[in-house]
Amino acid sequence: MEHGTSVISEGIELIPEGTVTTPKGFVAGAAKVGVRTDWDKLDVGLVHSGAPCVAAGVYTRNALKGASLLVSMEHLARGSAQAIVANAGCANCSVGERGIEDAIKMAQLTGAKFGIDPHEVVVASTGVIGTFLPMGRISRGIEEIRVSREGGMDFARAIMTTDTKPKHVAVRGNGWSMGGVVKGVGMIHPNMATMLCFVTTDAAVTQLFLAHALKDAVDDSFNMIDIDSDTSPDDTVVVMANGLAGGGPIDEGHADEKSFRAALRLVCTDLAKQMVADAEGATKVIEARVEEAATHEDARKAAREIVMSLGVKTAVYRQRCI
């Protein structure tokens, strides 16, 4: 398993082969239902927590948003979630009211499967824009999926589109753990990318702290990468915390605040670097490091100008010995 070069700090330990089912209480699974008929792969996946979770999300800034994302934004506004249903192959975007109806149906089917309120289900879709979800096949897939602690890798594969490999990471903190998966290799640009990212943790945290920590982590990871200067309508990062590790709840000023923030930042940064390394057509990875900037925002602006520059990308590409 390859990871980015994120620095392990604040007492955080990398868990080899970890994924979204590494934290206590989380299970996952996937099925191959033929969302797109031109590929043969897992394309519908589920994640479920046996206990209710506080949750937070960060979303695309694209004015055009997919139907599944709009439904998830409404659900996550409650600050809680207990399951995720995701499909690859169809973005469920630009298809009118039917897109909303299909996303709601996916949430209802998943809620019924796990015996939870459908509003506690995050719905995510990625793939081709402007086509309808094949709800008959997706419905059967949701019913057929068998979730388990070993299903995290299948879920990571089920959200892939043109990715060449599943992208996942997990870390251990002070008695709690955190795992994440991501997909995305094209339409990658600061302010998120064509990406879906799901992070789980068994740490006990307050919802407001979780939301702030996620935004900070995303700002310095997914919001700093660039491949082709395009954005998409379905970009989503969601984190769910079920508290089954006990202790806490972690909040501002808690003894574990710094280590939790460090873990979330590390997971997001590692997954972001995995995305860049697997980007469509990529042969090089460029990392810009800015020193002695007057402010953090100045450093961000300078780094983004460098990584978005077509001239810099061309120059690095032409240096084939690098």
| Sign of CA pseudo-dihedral 154, 31, 278, 66 | negative
Nearest to 19 by CA among 10, 31, 28: 28
CA distance 131 to 124: 15
**Radius of gyration over alpha carbons of the chain, in Å?**
19
194 is catalytic: yes
Contact between 43 and 60 (Cβ < 8 Å) = no
- Tokens 């491949």 map to which residue? 227
* CA gap 196, 76 in Å, rounded: 15
The residue type of 289 is R
DSSP secondary structure, 148-210, as one string: BTT-HHHHHHHT-SS-SS-EEEEEE-SS-EEEEEEE--SSB-SS-BS-EEEEEE---B-HHHH
Question: Which is catalytic among the residues 194, 200, 231, 269?
Answer: 194
Catalytic positions are 194
